[in-house]
Amino acid sequence: MNNFIFSNHDTVELARKYGTPLYVLSEDIITSNAEIMKNAFEKCNIDYEINYAGKAFLTVAMCKIIENAGLSLDVVSGGELYTAIKAGFPMERVCFHGSNKSIAEIEMAFDYKVGKVVADSEYELGVLDRIAEEKKYTPKVMVRVSPGIEAHTHEYVQTGRIDSKFGVPLKLMGKVLSDVCKFSNLNIIGLHCHIGSQIFDEKPFLIAAETMLKLMKGLEENGFEMKQLNLGGGFGIPYLKDDSVFDIDEYVQKLVEFAKDKCRELGLEFPKLLVEPGRFIVGTAGVTLYEIGTVKEIPHTRKYVSVDGGMADNPRPGLYDALYHAVVANKMTFSDEDEELVTVSGRCCETDTLITDVLLPKCEAGDILAVLNTGAYNYSMSSNYNRLPKPAVVLLKGDKDQVIVERETYEDIVSKDRLPNWYK
Ligand SMILES: Cc1ncc(COP(=O)(O)O)c(C=O)c1O
């Protein structure tokens, strides 16, 4: 077979059947990634919880996959929470996150009795407490800490630095929690931190664990016993052929041994450990299929291969120089002489480069380009820039394929437009 096969499906046939651009997602790969992470924790014989970070990719069908895989769900907005509600996701397994939650969102989270809320600031603890009192409901709350750790990843996705909008600065935690007695309507069960995304080095994760355990001990000495520690997500996945693979098994083992040692040293009871992976669960489970249109060669300069999507369906290259690999799905067998270095351009009215340099077999209009590992932060970050309808999402499971998000139509694009009275 000359075509690119993804999760046992011929991607050229998928492109023909559903049109392009097309997000393709494999349930089998998502489930396998979830299993890898669960097994890593199971082996350590500890109390743990894996919260899938819905921001990476969330639809009603995805909630079902996550529920069946036995994971919990981290949501960061009323929209993500509503998706989980629509899917009938068990609310006790939902953790409500977000750096500036609205009052309406907090009320919604309490009304639906989500399992946990992560408070992002002292101000928010006060708001949560007030709403909890009004609703006569005592939510389980974790407090997000900004641990002051620099992870080796793009600065836009470093979220645990001192200079960060997220979480309570480490140095202020003592003060914030000494005020905790003010928050008598909250059940504060633990601490949270998330140091960044697409991290391959395990060292910053271990430093974060140590920092947080010391903080927990300090707080315990001041009468605030915490039983749960959420170390966030951020586990890197390979985007390019030569990228390394984050060995989750080895990492979890190291983390647990390290944390057990630290707890022993500190005289702290080993807490329940939580993680919040998004990319690790869904990133490798997706590919995006495009049809190639214009191929433009600028002599001695560059060859541009244009596709029928771009920054509207994948803003990551433009946002933080994210790198991707691609293949020509209908030309999987070719000789080295047929290969050429090209730049893959999106169709939007910006530079809109999807991949700066990639070796591809000679491309022609009508070829199908498959950009790999687009499962995370592509559909969820997509926009209607240039009034482009969003692509459909097709889910693969075994030999089955089915649309889980319909392709938008031009009518969808104008459906929320209204003419003011003076033009009617
Ligand atoms: C608080 C929090 N948790 C989890 C995640 C998921 O990160 P990743 O997809 O890199 O695992 C993010 C990503 O931004 C985050 O901000």
pLDDT band at 160 (very low <50, low <70, confident <90, very high): low
Q: How far is the CA of 280 from the centre of ligand 1 (A)?
A: 10
What is the pLDDT of the chain when averaged over all its residues? 94
Average pLDDT over residues 65-75: 98
What is residue 288's predicted lDDT score, i.e. its pLDDT? 98
Residue type, 13: E
Q: What does the domain layout of the chain look like in residue ranges?
A: 5-10+284-410, 27-279
Of 51, 145, 154, 194, the one to substitute when testing ligand 1's pocket (max ligand atoms within 8 A of C-beta) is 194
pLDDT digits (tens, 9 = 90+) for 327-367: 999 999 888 888 999 999 999 998 899 999 999 999 999 99
In our burial notation (b when 16+ CB lie closer than 10 A, e otherwise), range 410-421 reads eeeeeeeeeeee
Flag whether pLDDT at 291 surpasses 60: yes
What is residue 165's predicted lDDT score, i.e. its pLDDT? 85
Fold of 27-279: TIM Barrel (3.20.20)
Nearest-atom number in ligand 1 for the CA of 235 is 11
Residue of 234, 379, 368, 372 whose CA lies nearest to 314: 379
Of 71, 200, 276, the one to substitute when testing ligand 1's pocket (max ligand atoms within 8 A of C-beta) is 276
Average pLDDT over residues 283-304: 97
Q: Which one is predicted more confidently, 258 or 170?
A: 258
SS (H, E, C) the chain: CCCCEECCEEHHHHHHHHCCCEEEEEHHHHHHHHHHHHHHHHCCCCCEEEEEEHHHCCCHHHHHHHHHCCCEEEECCHHHHHHHHHCCCCHHHEEECCCCCCHHHHHHHHHCCCCEEEECCHHHHHHHHHHHHHHCCCCEEEEEEECCCCCCCCHHHECCCCCCCCCEEHHHHHHHHHCHHHCCCCEEEEEECCCECCECCCHHHHHHHHHHHHHHHHHHHCCCCCCEEECCCCECCCCCCCCCCCCHHHHHHHHHHHHHHHHHHHCCCCCEEEECCCHHHHHHHEEEEEEEEEEEEECCCEEEEEECCCCCCCCHHHHHCCCCCEEECCCCCCCHHHEEEEEEECCCCCCCEEEEEEEEECCCCCCEEEEECCCCCCHHHCCCHHHCCCCEEEEEECCEEEEEECCCCHHHHHCCCCCCHHHC
What is residue 221's predicted lDDT score, i.e. its pLDDT? 87
Q: Tell me, using a 6 A CB cutoff, whether residue 367 lines ligand 1.
A: no
Q: Tell me, using a 6 A CB cutoff, whether residue 120 lines ligand 1.
A: no
Hey, what are 117's tokens?
């809320």
pLDDT digits (tens, 9 = 90+) for 44-69: 999 999 999 999 999 999 999 999 99
Of 197, 200, 319, the one to substitute when testing ligand 1's pocket (max ligand atoms within 8 A of C-beta) is 197
Spell out the CATH class of 5-10+284-410.
mainly beta
**Which residues neighbour 76 within 8 Å (Cβ) at sequence distance 6 or greater?**
54, 55, 96, 97, 98
Q: Tell me, using a 6 A CB cutoff, whether residue 204 lines ligand 1.
A: no
Residue position matching structure tokens 């928050």: 183
pLDDT digits (tens, 9 = 90+) for 86-127: 999 999 999 999 999 999 999 999 999 999 999 999 899 999
Q: How far is the CA of 237 from the centre of ligand 1 (A)?
A: 13
Q: Is 20 helix (H, G, I), strand (E, B) or coil?
A: coil
Determine the Cα–Cα distance for residues 211 and 270; give it in Å rounded to an integer: 14
Flag whether pLDDT at 159 surpasses 70: no
Phi then psi for residue 290, to 5 deg, are -125, 155
Whole-number CA gyration radius for the chain:
23
Residue position matching structure tokens 């559909």: 379
Q: How far is the CA of 25 from the centre of ligand 1 (A)?
A: 20
Stated pTM of the model: 0.95
Catalytic residue set: 349
Of 115-129, 179-193, 264-278, 300-314, minimum mean pLDDT range: 179-193
Q: How far is the CA of 147 from the centre of ligand 1 (A)?
A: 15
Flag whether pLDDT at 191 surpasses 80: yes
Q: How far is the CA of 159 from the centre of ligand 1 (A)?
A: 9
Hey, what are 34's tokens?
């979830």
Average pLDDT over residues 35-44: 97
Nearest-atom number in ligand 1 for the CA of 198 is 10
Hey, what are 96's tokens?
């409500």
pLDDT band at 323 (very low <50, low <70, confident <90, very high): very high
